[in-house]
Chains A and B, each alone.
Chain A
Amino acid sequence: MLQVEDLHAGYGASEVLTGTTLAVKQGALVALIGANGAGKTTTMRAISGGLKPSRGRVLLDGKEVQGLDASRIARLGLAHAPEGRKVFGPLSVEDNLLLGAYAHLPRFFGFRARARADLDRVYDLFPRLRDRTKQAAGTLSGGEQQMLAIGRALMARPKVMLLDEPSMGLAPVIVQEVFRTIRRLKEEGITLLLVEQFAKSALEVADYAYVMERGRIAVEGTPAELSRDERVIAAYLG
């Protein structure tokens, strides 16, 4: 469903990605792990169009999307829940969710009725958001903002969802909740690329994983294979 081939990208003169190649099959949950600064978030941004790759290809459902505007890639079916959550702080929880579905809702009137079923699905997944529909997103707790960011991405009915560091800065109890949610998403058949610092938890939920080092994939395999790999154990699972 998502294929990345020999991706090069960076900021100005410094190249962060030096030929990243990975693939996410339909319905699979793929984890991307690695140390800080290895290029995980840069990979995500280069896929979703926030950063223009200097070389390489990104295929979404077989269609080349590298170099397109982020908004165009989003309309083609890629939802990116970015690092740091990036909810629309001054807007209400419900408005945030509605904007998540912007690509397939009417622009002027009747959008709320059309989004009803998707909204209910998100509220069923995150009951705490239902109690706060009118609240400004910026006043939610970090965990709730993360739920909102995931819910907002779900509203797009994406072909592929990118989840960047969903556990960042959250209390351990909330992190567990986030991973329970990720498991739910997987059971619902959503195709997911997950970037995580908690390599252990990520490998527990993933079908396949890539380990990044200095801008390229160093090791890849199923979680079972990786947890036998001595280098991976020493560096990330120890």
Chain B
Amino acid sequence: MNPSIIGQMAVSGALMGLVYALIAYGFQLTYATSKSINFGQGELVMVSAFFSLTLMNLGLPYWAMIPGGLLFGALMGLAVERAGVRLALEQKSEGWILLTIILGLFFFSAAENLWGRDDRPFPTPISADPIHVLGVDVTRLELSVAVGVLAIMGAIELFKRRTLLGKAFEAVSADRDAAELMGISATRTVMLSYALSGAVAALAGILVSPITTVGPTMASALILKAFSVAVVAGLDSGFGVVLIGMFLGALESLASFYLGSGWREAPGLLLLILALAVRPTGVFGKAAIRKV
């Protein structure tokens, strides 16, 4: 085994793993406020990518498209909350599971009808020529994924810790009824978390599309990995998803190189099963600190 090849494989895999981490982070955002997640999050990634592509086809430059794409993702997140989650939560039912899956299927069919079934290239001004860093080759495109993922996660985490609205987010997450007694509207907080989660999904789509192309099925593999990452790291682990995402990405890339590309999906599933068996709260999940 050539160590430089291992390093190369691990690094490009880890950079892709950051996309899993970002989608997993989107799950965390809504889970924190409402203990619900959007099972159609992958379709949100996909329709947002298609929408962003359309914006560029209409003549918008890449950098001007990004805010538009994020806004679209946020609006789709709000739509999912309104149509699939709110009523179920009000009735304390688990109906959101089925409803968000159905909304995902709906987004999928809508995308097939609007944009067709073919995979399309997603143009980007960021160069795909490799540059040499510390003995491995990475492309600016791969680095842009890392920068984008860490920037949006950093910004949202700062918002949660430094602003009063962000603290209200955590209050709803800790005790919804008590937060209401402080004058914090739990419904609005959940809406905000779905909007943020949608924007995060849109960014994931914009970052990954130049590498994978855009198509109705582009997110189906991504979303499975994101689930694994979210569960393995823990649904309340914050930046834990970054480490697990990079780890899984690296592992996958090594598995497909050494064992054959058919083994690419194996590490994610193995990690998931292992985590559920050994540590269901996740590697970085916190057991609640509470004294009565």
Contact = CB atoms under 8 A, between A and B. Distances in A.
A and B pair up: yes
A86 B178 CA distance: 6
A79 B162 CA distance: 25
Interface stretch (A8-16, A100-108, A174-182, A221-229): A100-108
Interface size class of A (residues with CB under 8 A): 35 or more
A48 interface: yes
Interface string B176-206: 0111111111110000000000000000000
A88 B173 CA distance: 9
A88 B174 contact: yes
Contact of B186 (A71, A75, A86): A71
- Most chain A C-beta atoms within 10 Å of own C-beta, residue among B164, B178, B182: B182
- Most chain A C-beta atoms within 10 Å of own C-beta, residue among B163, B167, B289: B167
Given A89-B290, A139-B291, A140-B291, A69 B180 contact: yes
B182 A136 contact: no
A220 interface: no
Interface in A53-99: 69-72, 74-75, 79-80, 82, 84, 86-91, 95, 98-99
B287 to A, nearest CB: 11
A152 B292 contact: no
B5 interface: no
B277 interface: no
A194 interface: no
B168 to A, nearest CB: 6
B183 A88 contact: no
Contacts of A138: 288-291
Contact of A89 (B164, B183, B288): B288
Interface residues of B, number: 27
Query: Taking chain B's interface residues, is the majority helix, strand, or loop, or is none over half, making it mixed?
Result: helix
Contact of A102 (B184, B186, B288): B184
Interface in A12-33: none
A50 B181 CA distance: 8
Given A71-B186, A102-B184, A88 B178 contact: yes
Contacts, number: 105
A73 to B, nearest CB: 9
Contact of B170 (A88, A100, A107, A139): A88
A75 to B, nearest CB: 4
Contacts of B183: 71, 74-75, 102-103, 156
Interface of A: 48-50, 69-72, 74-75, 79-80, 82, 84, 86-91, 95, 98-100, 102-103, 105-109, 111, 136, 138-142, 145, 152, 156, 169
Given A89-B174, A98-B164, 16 more contacts: A50-B181, A69-B185, A70-B177, A71-B185, A74-B180, A74-B181, A74-B182, A75-B183, A84-B292, A88-B179, A89-B175, A99-B167, A100-B182, A103-B182, A111-B163, A140-B291
9 smallest beta-carbon distances between A and B, as pairs: A103-B183, A74-B183, A70-B180, A86-B178, A88-B174, A107-B165, A75-B183, A138-B289, A71-B185
Interface of B: 162-165, 167-168, 170-171, 174-175, 177-187, 286, 288-292
13 contacts: A50-B177, A71-B184, A71-B186, A72-B185, A86-B175, A88-B174, A98-B167, A100-B182, A102-B184, A111-B163, A138-B289, A152-B182, A169-B292
